[in-house]
């Protein structure tokens, strides 16, 4: 029985055969088309083909061992964590690196000349049914992590400079590198020429020893190429947003699929577009890996499939929202930074909540865009607090405060048939929530409360605030938390779902959303210790904080001891306590 994911065994066997059969002299001209004469002799005399690398996706460690055995490979050492590949994958797909378990092994093979070579196997664990399956399929198609490595023999500074110059002259572009003191080895990375016929996009030149003086010049050339090009790519980010929004608005993804290719003429007829212009849009999206193209036409990638209206967890509403009203208001970011006025209010003449409430179509789009991020909710149903409430002798009640269309509450109630729920929302939102929860089969176990934050129902066992607090300033947050605290029995727990800012300034979706909140609602993202202070001011204490998908996190809070709260209350301004708030939905 096949225990590995389809495609991995074939790819690994092909890599093994490639490494066993390739000769350095024959491989280099494939990698660098046109390489011959003195340049070819220079590289052949000084370099040896050492290994090829690929990324595979076994469901577990045993499947990885089986995969290697099927391909006749036996690792010399146990698998080790691969931090670099994990971080690249996290960056490429906007995931939390902690979600990605990537290992590296280097089993040996023998080349045609009898020399020992290796297969560098990176393995990302993808269990059955995992949401990482889309990443696996996309990586198999794009082969981002595949590369070829050549080891330099008897490396000397002058000779290394010459080798780097030969590669650059033949179209290989400097692409970083580094010195590894643990191995006492220096790595020079190159992007392969666009017309390379070796089947690999990246080339590694490895030299034993410390050659950081030569590496410095290589990195300087890489850096000289990067800033202007990188800045240009950043400056055109708005084009990407609009390309994706137009793709979704025209319903092009709905006329495509991931298995069958379709020609531009037929696609244009289906969606009502000009064929030539649609082809140009698709060509741009192919560069973003949203679609793929060959002579038979275009098809969706797993990334693009998320923009289909009927896709599970469809992100089409987000594309329309980010390419629509939020795109317009973000143009006023400079105004917000300069004046402190919320850009959305400056543009539309009213706040985000009132504007959406007056436009039923826009309100519905907003609610659907909120649901598009529902994959961040999935682990919440297994949170120890929720599980304990479900397993109690008397089944517990989950109170979802400002619960929108009931997406989160539906996840929890579906996973725990003994739990009951209460959803607190605005009257016009409750009807949509009722339909949603009825469709999930949870409606009979859920009560609905129309009202404001001041109307948080008492007597619940678990209270949930999901993407609510980031809409408000600190004063409003304190008041919302106080309403929750007053309603909560002493035994109750509070779960707060937000994107939490990192303490070390590392890249984070929360940092991006912080600008979004400032520009569109006047809110903000916060660090965990900031939330802890707000909780303390409301008579609550932060128990712990754990990660969720899509860069989110869940904070667990409980009522603080009376003495502790008395001290905190004394420090809070009575003016802050007098601020009013309204019961509104949250912002994506």
Local confidence band at 358 (pLDDT 50, 70, 90 cut-offs):
confident
Positions of E strands within 125-201:
147-152, 173-180, 185-191
Whether the Cβ atoms of residue 474 and residue 486 lie closer than 8 Å to each other: no
Phi, then psi, of 560 in degrees rounded to 5? -80, 155
Q: Which of 405, 539, 385, 552 is nearest to 462 (CA)?
A: 385
Give which of 465, 462, 419 is closest to 442, Cα–Cα. 419
Beta bridge mates, 542 = 557
pTM of the model: 0.61
List, for residues 387-417, the tens digit of each pLDDT value.
999 999 898 999 999 998 888 999 999 999 9
- Kindly report, residue by residue over 52-98, the tens digit of the pLDDT: 999 999 999 899 999 999 999 988 778 888 776 787 788 777 777 77
SS3 202: strand
Q: Tell me the C-alpha distance between 293 and 333, whole Å.
A: 36
| End-to-end Cα distance, the chain | 44
- Would you tell me how many other CB atoms lie within 10 Å of the CB of residue 150? 24
Name all domains of the chain by residue range, CATH numbers in brackets: 8-232 (3.10.180.10), 236-311 (1.10.10.10), 374-578 (3.40.50.150)
**What confidence category does residue 583 fall into, taking pLDDT thresholds of 50, 70 and 90?**
very low
d(CA 553, CA 217): 42
Mean pLDDT over 443-458 rounds to 94
What is the percent of the chain where pLDDT is above 90? 52
Query: Which residue matches tokens 């609009």?
Result: 242
- Residue position matching structure tokens 């000289």: 224
Tokens 């409980």 -> residue: 558
* Lowest-pLDDT range of 166-175, 215-224, 249-258, 446-455: 215-224
Which pLDDT belongs to residue 563? 52
Segment 320-325 mean pLDDT? 93
565 pLDDT more than 70: no
Is the distance from CB of 53 to CB of 120 less than 8 angstroms? yes
Alpha-carbon distance 245 to 317, whole Å? Answer: 9
Q: Could you give the residue numbers annotated as active site?
A: 470
Please give the average per-residue pLDDT across 543-556, as a whole number: 89
């Amino acid at each position: 029985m096949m225990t590995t994911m389809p495609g991995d065994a074939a790819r690994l066997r092909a890599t093994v055969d490639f490494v066993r059969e390739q000769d350095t002299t024959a491989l280099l001209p494939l990698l660098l088309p046109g390489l011959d004469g003195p340049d070819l002799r220079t590289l052949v005399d000084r370099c040896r083909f050492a290994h090829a690398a690929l990324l595979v996706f076994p469901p577990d460690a045993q499947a990885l061992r089986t995969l290697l055995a099927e391909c006749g490979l036996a690792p010399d050492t146990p698998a080790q964590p691969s931090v670099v590949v994990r971080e690249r994958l996290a960056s490429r797909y906007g995931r939390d690196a902690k979600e990605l378990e990537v290992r590296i092994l280097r089993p040996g093979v023998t080349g045609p000349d009898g020399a020992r070579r290796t297969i560098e196997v990176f393995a990302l664990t993808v269990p059955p049914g995992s949401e990482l399956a889309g990443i696996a399929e996309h990586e198999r198609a794009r082969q981002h992590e595949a590369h070829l490595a050549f080891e330099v023999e008897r490396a000397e500074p002058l000779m290394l400079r010459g080798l780097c110059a030969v590669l650059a002259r033949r179209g290989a572009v400097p692409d970083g590198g580094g010195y590894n003191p643990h191995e006492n080895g220096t790595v020079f990375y190159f992007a392969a020429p666009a017309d390379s016929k070796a089947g690999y996009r990246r080339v590694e030149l490895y030299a034993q020893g410390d050659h950081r003086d030569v590496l410095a010049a290589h990195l300087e050339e890489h850096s000289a190429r990067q800033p202007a090009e990188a800045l240009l790519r950043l400056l055109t980010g708005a084009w990407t947003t609009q390309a994706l929004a137009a793709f979704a608005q025209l319903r092009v993804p709905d006329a495509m699929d991931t298995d069958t290719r379709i020609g531009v003429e037929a696609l244009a007829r289906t969606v009502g577009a000009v064929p030539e212009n649609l082809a140009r849009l698709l060509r741009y999206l192919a560069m973003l890996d949203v679609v793929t193209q060959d002579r038979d036409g275009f098809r969706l990638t797993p990334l693009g499939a998320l923009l289909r209206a009927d896709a599970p967890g469809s992100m089409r509403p987000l594309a329309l929202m980010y390419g629509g009203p939020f795109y317009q208001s973000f143009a006023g970011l400079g105004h917000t930074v300069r004046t402190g006025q919320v850009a959305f209010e400056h543009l539309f003449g009213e706040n985000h909540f009132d504007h959406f409430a007056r436009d039923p179509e826009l309100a519905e789009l907003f609610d659907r865009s909120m649901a598009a991020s529902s994959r961040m909710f999935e682990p919440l149903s297994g949170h120890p607090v929720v599980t304990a409430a479900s397993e109690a002798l008397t089944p517990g009640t989950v109170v979802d405060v400002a619960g929108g269309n009931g997406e989160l509450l539906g996840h929890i109630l579906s996973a725990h048939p003994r739990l009951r729920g209460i959803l607190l929302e605005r009257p016009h939102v409750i009807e949509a929530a009722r339909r949603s929860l009825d469709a999930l089969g949870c409606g009979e176990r859920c009560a609905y409360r129309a009202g404001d934050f001041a109307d948080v129902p008492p007597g619940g066992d678990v209270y949930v605030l999901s993407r609510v607090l980031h809409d408000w300033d600190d004063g409003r947050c304190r008041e919302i938390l106080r309403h929750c605290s007053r309603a909560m029995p002493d035994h109750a727990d509070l779960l707060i779902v937000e994107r939490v800012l990192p303490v070390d300034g590392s890249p984070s979706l929360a940092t991006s959303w912080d600008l979004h909140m400032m520009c569109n609602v006047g809110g903000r993202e916060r660090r965990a210790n900031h939330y802890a202070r707000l909780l303390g001011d409301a008579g609550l204490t932060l128990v712990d904080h754990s990660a969720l998908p899509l860069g989110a996190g869940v904070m667990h809070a409980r009522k603080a001891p009376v003495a502790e709260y008395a001290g905190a209350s004394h420090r809070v301004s009575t003016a802050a306590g007098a601020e009013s708030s309204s019961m509104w939905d949250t912002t994506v």
